Structures are given as C-alpha cells and as structure tokens.
Amino acid sequence: MKKCSRQRFFEEKNRQKERKGAADSAVEGADDAEDKEMSDRVKIRKSSGYGESFRAAFPHTIPVLTGYLFIGMAFGVMIQEKGYNFLWAMFMSLCCYAGSGQYLAVNFFVPGVSFLQMIFMEFMVNIRHIFYGLSRLERFSKMGKKRWYMIFSLTDETYSLLYITKTPEGMDESKFLFAIAVLDQSYWILGSGIGALLGEWLPFDGTGIDFAMTALFVVILVEQWMEEKKRLFELIGLGCGLFCLLVFGAENFILPTMLLMMAVLLSGKQLFMREKEEEGHAD
C-alpha cells in the first residue's frame, strides 16, 4: 500500500523533472535520496503529533546518541570517582547539561573552590553558547513555551544537529526540533547514569576516557570540512585558537580566542560573503 503511493509520488516527481528538462542521469543519481524523502513525507502526512515528531526525529539524532552515550559515560565515571552515585550523575545531567561544562564542574566537588571562581570558569568555557543562540533567534521565537527548553538545551551537539537537519515537509517544525532536543538530553542523562554505575561496579582505569570529547569535536570538524564553504571558518577558528593558546596559555585563552575570531570574521566580512556568493553561482 505504502509502496504504491510512494511509486505514484515518484512517477509524478519524475514527470515534473522531465517537464523541466532535467537530464535523465541526474534524476537517476538522486533517486535514492528522493525515494527516502518521499516515504518520510507519506508517513508524516497522516498526522503531526508528538509521537510522530519523535519518530521522525530519532534517526537524525543517532550520531548524537552514540557520541552522548560515550562522553556522558565518561562524565559518569569521573563524577563517580569523586564519590557521587548514578543518581547524582543523572541529576546533574538533567539540570546542567553541558559536556565541557560538566567535565569542568567535576573539579568543583572538592573543598576550597569558591562559587565566584566556579561562575567565572563555567562562563568562560560556555561563552561560545552566546553565539549559538544568535542563529537560532528567529526559529526559537516562534516556538512558544517550548523555546525555554530549546534555549536551555542548546549544547554544541544539539546546536550542530539543528543546524544541519531540515524539518521534513508537512511536519510541525517546533515539535520536530523539540523532539530532537529532548532525545539528545535523554541520551546524555542515560550515558551519565550508565557511566557512574559502571565505575561503581567494575572499577577500571578511566585515564584518558575524556578523549571522547576531543574525538566528538574532531568528528564534527571533519563533517563540516566536507562542506567546502565552511572550511575557511574552521581554519580561522583553529588558527586563532592555536595562536591565543601559545600567547595566553591553557588557562586563559578562550576569551581572547573568541575576540580574535570575531575581529577576523568581521574585518573579512565582505571578502568572505563575496566568496560564498560565487560558490553559490557555481552550483
């Protein structure tokens, strides 16, 4: 039944393409992607409730599922080593929800760290989040009360995912984006709990497990590298980061890096935007 309607969509789409005079070979190349898109659309047309939204969002969140289980587990192991059980780990992941921010916070659970120091360090590590929101302003403002959760849950990974994921046609966008955000945090909470339990039950040497966070960002970097127009900006980030690390040292280089990056990006605005437009024409 589904196959029939899918077939019909297909033929219709092909006919449209022929009318437009598109080359046959190009149509064939795009067949698979279109086929999948069509079946998604058929499924979604029936309804657009929360259940449907979560079902449609799940496949898109699988990359974050794998990443979050790992780095969430790493966090769980680390906080467990400070004497906090899985309930603490999960509670913290529910309230705080930030990879690097929580890794950093593990160091606060010892005597002698002042609250002012904590606020300053957390602010420095998470200052990049200020800029994430900028590109989400319009979208989130249309989401009613759900926008508060969207703002709360705007982690590096959720941000990247929202950035690259297109809402399927016919789907309520705010429910779809909300579903992505909720699924992502549930993986994070689950990973933290599993990590804390594993650390308790089978004590093992967790040295180096925090490399999961590095690996995650490297993977995102490689993914974005494949989109050619982002390479230049990634290189600017790498270059400014490296420069400021050498000049200011490991403890204080995040703020100068952000400022330097903004200066470079703003001073080169016209050049960068022109290049982007040219690439657009080439396509």
Partner 1 sequence: MQISVFRSLMIIAVVAGTIFFTRLFPFLFFPPGKKIPPMVQYLGKVLPPAVIGMLVIYCLKEVQLTAYPYGIPEAVSVLAVVLLHLWKRNNLLSIGAGTVLYMFLVQTVFTA
- Please report, as residue ranges, which positions from 19 to 38 form the binding site for partner 1 (by CB under 8 A): none
Region binding partner 1 by CB under 8 A among candidate stretches 19-27, 28-36, 165-173, 233-241: 233-241
Stretch of residues binding partner 1 (CB under 8 A), selected from 23-31, 50-58, 193-201, 260-268: 260-268
- Under rule CB under 8 A, residue 272 binds partner 1: yes
Q: What is the Rg, in whole angstroms, of the alpha carbon atoms belonging to the chain?
A: 22
Instruction: Decide if residue 154 touches partner 1 (CB under 8 A).
Output: yes
How is residue 84 annotated by DSSP? -
- According to the binding rule CB under 8 A, does residue 256 interact with partner 1? no
The tokens describing 226, both together, are 């494949």
Closest to partner 1 by CB, 15 vs 82, is 82
**Binding piece for partner 1, criterion CB under 8 A, among 13-21, 50-58, 181-189, 264-272:** 264-272
Phi and psi at 93, nearest 5°, equal -70, -25
- Shortest reach from residue 46's CB to partner 1, in Å: 31
CB 60 within 8 A of CB 181: no
Window contacting partner 1 (CB under 8 A); options: 35-43, 46-54, 167-175, 212-220: 212-220
Nearer to partner 1, 22 or 113 (CB): 113
Contacts of 154 (CB under 8 A, 6+ apart): 129, 132, 133, 136, 181
- Which of 102, 167, 185, 192 contacts partner 1 by CB under 8 A? 102
- In the list 4, 26, 33, 110, the residue contacting partner 1 (rule: CB under 8 A) is 110
Cβ contact 36:60 at 8 Å: no
- Size of residue set near partner 1 by CB under 8 A: 96
Tokens of 29: 């190349």
- Residue 208's identity, in one-letter code, is G
Is 98 one of the binding residues for partner 1 (CB under 8 A)? yes
- Closest CB 51 distance from partner 1, rounded Å: 26
Neighbours of 273 (CB within 10 A): 10
CB of 261 vs partner 1, minimal distance in Å: 5
Contacts (CB under 8 A) with partner 1, residues 54-93: 62-63, 66-67, 70, 74, 82-84, 88, 91-92
Say whether residue 273 binds partner 1 (CB under 8 A). Answer: yes
Among the listed ranges 9-17, 47-55, 180-188, 217-225, the one in contact with partner 1 (CB under 8 A) is: 217-225
Nearest 5°: the CA angle 35, 36, 38 is 65
The SS3 call for residue 226 is coil
CA 77 – CA 63 distance, rounded (Å): 22
By the 10 Å C-beta count (0-12 exposed, 13-18 middle, 19+ buried), 144 is classed as: exposed
Asked if 215 is part of the footprint of partner 1 (rule: CB under 8 A), the reply reads yes
- Please state, in angstroms and rounded to a whole number, the distance separating the CA atoms of residues 74 and 81: 11
**Minimal CA–CA distance to 199: which of 94, 89, 97?**
89
